[in-house]
Amino acid sequence: MKNKFLFLLAAVCLGFLPAAAQDDYPTNKEVAQRLQQIGSSRDAKLISLVKTEGGEDIWALQIGRGDLENKPAIAITSGVEGHHVLSAELALQVAEKIVKDHSQLLETTTFYVFPNMSPDAYSQYHNKLKYERRGNAVKVDHDRDGEISEDGYEDLNRDGMITDMRVESPLGKYIAHEDYPQILVEAEGANAAGKIRYLKLSEGIDNDKDEKFNEDLSEGIAFNKSLTYQFPVFEALAGDYPVSQKETRALLDYLFERWNIFAFVTFAPENNLSTPLKYNKQGAEKRIVTSILEKDAELNKIISDIYNETVPLKAYNQENQGKGGDFFQWAYFHFGRLSFSTPGWWIPEVKQEEKDSLNPKKGKITPETNFLAWAEKEGLDNIFVNWTEVEHPDFPNRKVEVGGIRPFAMMNPPYRMVDSIAEQHTDFVVKLAEMKPKLEFHNLETEKLSGGLTRITVDLFNNSPLPTHSEMGERSRWLQKLQITVDKEKEDILAGNTIKLSGKLGAYEKETISWIVKGNGTVTVKAGAPHTGYATMKVKL
Amino acid sequence: MKLNKIHTVVILGILSFLLNIPSLQAQEKFFRAIGTPHKPEVQVSWNRYYTYEGIVEIMEKIAKAHPNLAKMESIGKSFEGKDIYLLTISDFKTGDPDKKPAMYIDGNIHSNEIQGAEFSLYTAWYLTEMFDELDFIKELLQDKTFYINPTINPDARNNYMNKPNTPHSPRSGMIVLDNDRDGQAGEDGFDDLNGDNDITMMIRKSPTGRYIKDPQDPRRLIRVEAEEKGEYEMLGYEGKDTDGDGEVNEDGIGYYDPNRDWGWNWQPDYIQRGAYKYPFSLPESRSVMNFVMDHPNIAGAQSYHNYGGMILRGPGAEEDKDTYNAEDVKIYDAIGKKGEEMIPGYRYLVVYKDLYSVFGGELDWFYGGRGIYTYTNELMNSYQYFHKNEGRGNQEEQLKVDKFLTFGDAFVPWEEYDHPQYGKIQIGGFKKNFGRAHPGFLLEQDAHRNMAFTIYHAYHTPKLSITEVKEKNLGGGLKQITATIYNERLMPTHSSQDLKHNIERPDYVSISGANVITGMVVNDEDFNKVEEQKHNPEKIKVRNIPGMEAVKVRWIVSGNGNYRIKVDSAKGGTAEWRK
């Protein structure tokens, strides 16, 4: 109490709140400050789950009122990829807005926000040397040759960024794009003849002379490549076994104790909101399930439609619907919860006709050319590092140039665009929260039988467009069944049990329950599970 | 020699003769039996079982009695905070035990499958006691290391022994889970109604029962023919409905399976019943994993279960068939089939084909995830009773055993009891320590035979030596040096699973004391087929040194110094050659 007061006092005296001055994505330190500020609200509590190898906190923000763990909850997870810096900002703003603008929701819903699962990798955005990093700070031998991180990047043009490298070579597979000559495209067909050919590599030196460039980076395990579902064992950034990192374990251990989470919203490159996952019968029927289950695909479609109504950005290049070891698929396939993922933002499609018709484009449209067209339209500069020649020890007397699209630019919009993205995504999260399973009692009847017996009959109703259990959730031991309890001694219940378990109630589905009870007074009937919340009712005998 | 001196000698001789008489009389009470430590430093009875505390005490004694051969350490703590102790057995005077090719052995992963702990411990005891007696054992411990981890489920081992249980419980560890998904964990387990520390069976007289007691052997219940009237009904294991949901014993200790917690092809509970949260989410398997990751010298491994008399190898699941390729299967077969000869009645089998499918099992992680040749033995089988294979859980045979061999020690006779829900019932049946566990008189023999199998396995971990170094003068002050490195055992330094994924680093063959111009692996000496290594040629990386084969490495050097060649292999140990 006293601390909160001091903090507010300090904020007032200094005349600003830390968030106000932001013009770029926050540093880890700034993320922590903003979280502490949210955590100082009466509806939120901030805890650190663990410190990473790089010494950064893994934060968890619990937002809600009263008995948090017995109200249905949404878990929002960001920083699932360290170079997706937008996602951490999105989580922060969504959390800020829920606390500020949607506090009435907290009477019935709990939110768990994990704003950054990759703080070690994330810090590379603000580092002197900037590159799109995924791995944490542990030491890993990615190419499994017995030497650790012996071949990482080098900033050859000394611009503080790792971009690409092109080497003129008759053996090269790349040529300059017709419309955007700064972009390299794979040479194909007749139009490639007679053009300068390039090798395309990432910026650096082949330190261990194995003719592979930058194959053993100075970074560790990537969070979004190290979970249990379709774990890509022994691949770079994945490691030797799943869930090997302490931040992953800390998060999972925390989640396994939160029985109340009914849905996950993850801000990550994977996208099952613009387009829902498709049901594949064969994959769903295998022993190791590889497809979303049939009824859950329908739920995904319902939520997807709501997302597309709420977030106007039209899907473009959004084919990533899951990769081995990722987080959002884990939450569904291995944790049995509804799981939704979106990058939050992507480069919109720039249509040709919107462009200068005097200079019609001839070349193939690639994500990179679309990016340049978009940047041009938005008037963004400083998004491309022009090719400059460097001396390269691995290519003596050859023309080697360094350049390319700036790191982070294709995944993260300019900071000024974030506010509206965050607003739309807050709206989406709120709509999802409003759809949570909701149990109600209806049509209570008590009939007096002779001999002091009473028959109680009541309908338990799920007043929600979502079922209480997804099809996968029904299978998982990590989601509780609906428990219907009567607080009467076992001997006084002549028909029925003091506790009855019910597997599932579908969308707007009811189940009629009855007991024959002996005696007088009142009994309390309670039904639900942590992830549906509980309905309670007093019955006079 | 003068007469009085002779006198003295004679007197001394007579005296010493007389003095010797009492010691001669107290002399040998024992006559050596072949195959067993004759006068062991550490006395252990191998015809009984030990609790966790008993196991630890024997480990301490072994480590104390043989400081140059045995070292005890804790590799982590169990869920309840017990230390998981491991013995390192090797000749510490002949090099760092963590650099020698090693055999890892553990037992008791399933807490009710107890004898793996005694078998592991017997191995530690035998090796240390026989080191000075047998050249074979001495050489073995000079070359190899044994990491012996008797119980990797100490909490529930003690629960099995000290608390009421069936032969099949707890199996898991002591973390209590919500098995019926009602939001409460472990609220309705077994109840030891008659207070005998065994959970046996409940039966009740009933007009609709389908069983009668055998008139010739009242211990035995027989199912009546379809048209006949029975007298008794079966009510299952001892217990009651504690939580009032109309079910008996539906949510006890556990349930999860520690042998579904390993990081190779792990699957969640709805696919693989018994899986916990994620691989190595149990503290006991996590401790073992950390130890194995820290000891890349482990080339072979053995885990002990019960029962059925099986020597099992992976794959655990059909989905993993392709993980085990022909070259590795050849080695598995060679060792496994030898095991069948050494342990009569045991059969060499493949888990998914001959048993059932398992995802996330320990042996699959050892092999799939680490490239270590690993077996699981299902200890104890019916063969050991009457040298007939009557199969698992053959009631007829078990009743006969308890009649003629154990004289009633294995069976709790039926006795009446007033049950709160069932009314008048009878409780009785086989005790928890019969069936799966060896009776005491069979324990030592089977321990020895299984140990012999692990010794054979350990013996065939790679053994490397530099057998030949040839020099050839190339003129101009240059010299070509070709070294032959031979692996004189069955196992390669890298299993083919290891090679497929580069699990372990390559073997290094390095030269020092010479000015190296270039270095190469010689694939075919006769036709000079070589593979040059441009980067750091002083230390040639060799992908693998196959079993019973040699590899050749060559350098071109200048100068005339005395050089030294070293082999350094994670799983194959080290070897050296000096000019």
B280 reaches A (C-beta below 8 A): yes
Which string of DSSP letters, residue by residue, matches A219-280? ---BGGG-SSTT--TTSTTT-SSSS-SHHHHHHHHHHHT-TTEEEEEEESS--SSSSPPPP-
Report the chain B residue with the minimal C-alpha distance to residue A250: B281
From CA B219, how far away is CA B419, in angstroms rounded? Answer: 21
CB contact under 8 A, B245 and A497: yes
A497 neighbourhood in chain B, CB within 8 Å: 244-246
Determine, for residues A476 and B268 on separate chains, whether the beta-carbon distance falls below 8 Å: yes
DSSP per residue, A413-424: --GGGHHHHHHH
d(C-alpha B62, C-alpha B54), whole Å? 13
Mean pLDDT of B286-311: 97
Would you say the pTM of this structure is higher than 0.90?
yes
pLDDT score recorded for residue A454: 93
Tell me which chain B residues have a C-beta less than 8 angstroms from the C-beta of A288.
Answer: 267, 271, 319, 359
pLDDT per residue over A202-245, tens digit each? Answer: 999 998 888 889 988 889 999 999 999 999 999 999 999 999 99
Mean pLDDT throughout B345-374?
95
Tokens of A292: 């979303």
Is pLDDT at B278 greater than 50 in this prediction?
A: yes
Pair A403, A368: CB distance under 8 Å: no
Test the A interface: residue of B179, B248, B277 with most A CBs within 10 Å: B277
CB B166 within 8 A of CB B202: no
HSE of B196, CA atoms in CB hemisphere, 13 A: 21
Strand partners, A161: A130
Contacts of A253 (CB under 8 A, 6+ apart): B277, B281
Q: Which residues from B are below 8 Å from A243, CB to CB?
A: 278-281
Structure tokens, A244: 């090997």
Closest CA to A439 of A497, A498, A480, A472: A480
What's the pLDDT at B239? 93
Residue of B nearest to A287 (CA): B271
pLDDT at A359: 66
Residue B552 confidence class, pLDDT cut points 50, 70, 90 = very high
Does residue B5 register a pLDDT over 70? no
- Backbone angle region of A521, left / alpha / beta, with phi > 0 → left and psi within -120 to 50 → alpha: left
Q: Which residues of chain A have pLDDT under 70?
A: 1-21, 190-191, 353-359
Minimal-distance CA residue of chain B relative to A483 = B182
B32 lies within 8 A of chain A by CB = no
Q: Quote the minimal CA–CA distance from B45 to chain A in Å.
A: 41
Amino acid at B75: I
Q: Where are the alpha helices (DSSP H) in B76-223?
A: 115-130, 135-143, 154-162
Nearest to A57 by CA among A247, A243, A221, A218: A247
Nearest to B271 among A145, A287, A480 (CB): A287
Q: What is the pLDDT of residues A472-501, one digit of tens each?
A: 999 999 999 999 999 988 888 888 888 888
pLDDT at A21 (0 to 100): 55
Dump pLDDT digits (tens) for B21-41. Answer: 555 556 788 999 999 999 999
Q: CB distance B244–A499 less than 8 Å?
A: yes
**Mean pLDDT across chain A, nearest whole number?**
92
| Interchain pair A233, B534: CB under 8 A | no
What is the pLDDT, as a whole number, of residue A194?
Answer: 82
Please state, in angstroms and as integers, the Cα–Cα distance from residue A326 to each residue in A215, A223, A330, A355, B386, following that order: 21, 8, 6, 38, 55
The number of C-beta contacts closer than 8 angstroms across A and B is 106
pLDDT digits (tens, 9 = 90+) for B72-128: 999 999 999 999 999 999 999 999 999 999 999 999 999 999 999 999 999 999 999
Residues of A in contact with B535 (CB under 8 A): 208-210
Q: Which residue of A has its CA nearest to B241?
A: A490
Residues 489-528 of B with CB under 8 A from A: 501-503, 505-506
Residue B437: the pLDDT is 97
Helix A85-101 vs helix A28-39: crossing angle, to nearest 10: 10
Band of pLDDT at residue B10, cut at 50, 70 and 90: low
Q: Can you point out the beta strands (E) in A391-509?
A: 400-405, 439-449, 453-462, 482-486, 493-495, 499-502
pLDDT at B547 over 90: yes
> Tokens at residue A260, please?
């109340």
A426-443: burial string, b at 16+ Cβ within 10 Å, e else: bbbbbebbebbbbbebee
Beta-carbon contacts of residue A451 (< 8 Å; ≥ 6 apart): none
Burial of residue A381, with CB atoms counted within 10 A of its CB: 0-12 exposed, 13-18 middle, 19 or more buried:
exposed
> Which of B278, B288, B500, B505 to mutate: most A Cβ within 10 Å?
B278
Q: Does A429 touch chain B (CB under 8 A)?
A: no
Mutation target among A226, A254, A288 for the B interface, most CBs of B within 10 A? A288
What is the widest separation between alpha-carbon atoms in chain B?
108
Q: Is the minimum CB–CB distance between A287 and chain B shorter than 8 Å? A: yes
Contact across the interface for B243 and A499, Cβ inside 8 Å: yes
